[in-house]
Chain A
Amino acid sequence: GENVGLHLPTLSVQEGDNSIINCAYSNSASDYFIWYKQESGKGPQFIIDIRSNMDKRQGQRVTVLLNKTVKHLSLQIAATQPGDSAVYFCAEIPINNAGNMLTFGGGTRLMVKP
């Protein structure tokens, strides 16, 4: 897929370090949040999700933190690997949204240096 390229914020990390990618959302009525990873030439791929009644959720090497007070979402990747290089999008679904309509953020490009 064509990642949003030149205008994307970029995070560059050393292999093995931890990465933190941040996202600010605007809709205080959002009930459900998802992080997607998009590698070059591919569609977005689900990583992890979190509901608004939680403030933290952990997966394999990834953790999502939700701060509803300041409407902030973060994705933490432990021991970042070259395969983690991609564009990461946060997406939200407002409460009572029967249409499953994801609203995507602008994306952050993660570059992992070997």
Chain B
Amino acid sequence: DAGVIQSPRHEVTEMGQEVTLRCKPISGHDYLFWYRQTMMRGLELLIYFNNNVPIDDSGMPEDRFSAKMPNASFSTLKIQPSEPRDSAVYFCASSLVAGNTEAFFGQGTRLTVV
């Protein structure tokens, strides 16, 4: 397995535009997580899914953020409209089962909103 795959690796967009980040988890993993990493706040959990169902989205900062997981091999994180303060690196991670296992992270998408 190639690991968690995220696209794009880099995204530069203008304020007000819609941004869609994509993630392919490791095959067979039941949990998928979206994290955001910034200099000021470190790594923050935004939302996670179990078996394609959103379980906890309390970390999503605003209604401008939404996430979907239409099937077990694909998830999106959308920001609409984007703002400069959304600039960060967004990571997707997946893990196998509930309980005490580590999560495997993708390479991240570096988002810059100008």
Do these two chains interact?
yes
A interface secondary structure, majority: loop
Which of B13-21, B48-56, B65-73, B78-86 interfaces with chain A?
B48-56
Q: B103: CB under 8 A from chain A?
A: yes
Which B residues are in CB contact (< 8 Å) with A100?
31, 33, 48, 95, 97-101, 103
Inter-chain CA distance A97–B108, complex, in Å, is 25
Identify which of residues 94-114 in chain A touch chain B, using a CB-to-CB cut-off of 8 Å: 98-107
Q: B78-114 toward A: CB 8 Å interface, digit per residue (1/0)?
A: 0000000000110101010111111111111010000
**Are A32 and B38 in contact, with the CB atoms below 8 A?**
no
Chain B nearest CB: distance from A98 CB in Å? 5
Identify 8 new A-B residue pairs, CB closer than 8 A, beyond the known A1-B107, A42-B107, A100-B97. Answer: A7-B39, A41-B107, A49-B102, A89-B43, A99-B31, A100-B103, A103-B45, A107-B42
In the complex, the 6 A-B pairs of residues with the closest C-beta atoms, listed nearest first:
A43-B105, A32-B100, A2-B89, A104-B43, A46-B102, A1-B108
Residues of chain A touching chain B, judged by Cβ–Cβ distance below 8 Å, are: 1-7, 31-32, 34, 36, 41-46, 49, 51, 89, 93, 98-107
